[in-house]
Amino acid sequence: MNGESNLIKLAVEGVASEEGHVRFDEFLQKLEDLLIALNDVDRIVGNTQRPALYYRLVDVSHGSEVAITLEPVVRQRMPAARAAREINARHTRFFKELSAIKMNEPVSPDVDERLLERLRDLVEGIGRTFQRASISNSESRVDLDETFETNIRKLLAEEDSSYGGVEGKLDAVNIHGALRRFWIYPRLGADRIRCDFLPGTADEIRDALGHYIRVEGIKYFRAPNPYPYRIAVRDFEILDTEEATALVDLRGIAPGATGHMSAVDFVRAIRDEWD
């Protein structure tokens, strides 16, 4: 591959509700997901925690879609031929895994859940926050569409997703670097739920630490659990502490709550609940 063929282009088209434009916070999140995925591939290929490459922005365009083009650069000084090999190995591997997911083929054995989750995050919001998206180089293009989302969810054993809200106490947070996560501990249902939050909300997350909160966003489930294991947070609020604490009194008081519903229908109803 020559230098130009190692360029990576991310293109995103907005939804009609935003007049075809892409929200800045959503696009920024996609850029971050892409960078982390690239760094994870770098980590796997190089068998090291520190990426060998960084990326510089070489082109931006805005027509029917917003598109940015990234150029990989080797961090450490080295002969040009070796630098080209380092870049090519990571670039080729990245598109190999993307293509395998899109074609519903096995990914490489050393691809771990961490990388798969970030690739899944790239397609998160299809049809809701963006209309379509793609990642391409000079030789190939992979559409981030419903097929890609379905296939990667299979790899993650992710059965379902829905938009809704969950309440719990915010007792742990990671606001350093690109992995913006906190964990809530509900009084009912799951023991704890991982919450990924948007850029620019770290101060609000700090203020909510130790409080009982309600988060809203895309909830992700794994079979056979009816409760989400992860939420892509789009909004949250601090709840009244006394009201939230009283929820513990509800535990176990309605053993016949499913009524005439089957277990499958009851689980589905819980997952799709908008509260």
pLDDT band at 204 (very low <50, low <70, confident <90, very high): confident
The CB-side HSE value for 82 (13 A sphere, CA atoms) comes to 6
- The more confidently predicted of residues 247 and 31 is 31
**Residue 97 phi, psi (nearest 5):** -70, -40
- The more confidently predicted of residues 48 and 135 is 135
Q: Taking 70 as the threshold, does the pLDDT of residue 88 lie above it?
A: yes
Q: Taking 60 as the threshold, does the pLDDT of residue 274 lie above it?
A: no
pTM: 0.68
- Cα–Cα distance, 270 to 228 (Å, whole number): 10
H helices of 2-79, where?
24-46
Question: Residue for token digits 């909830």?
Answer: 219
pLDDT band at 250 (very low <50, low <70, confident <90, very high): very low
Question: Residue for token digits 């938009």?
Answer: 163
pLDDT band at 258 (very low <50, low <70, confident <90, very high): very low
Q: Class of 158-271 per CATH? A: mainly beta
Distances (CA, A) of 45 to 5, 40, 92, 251: 19, 9, 10, 48
Compute the average pLDDT of residues 175-190: 77
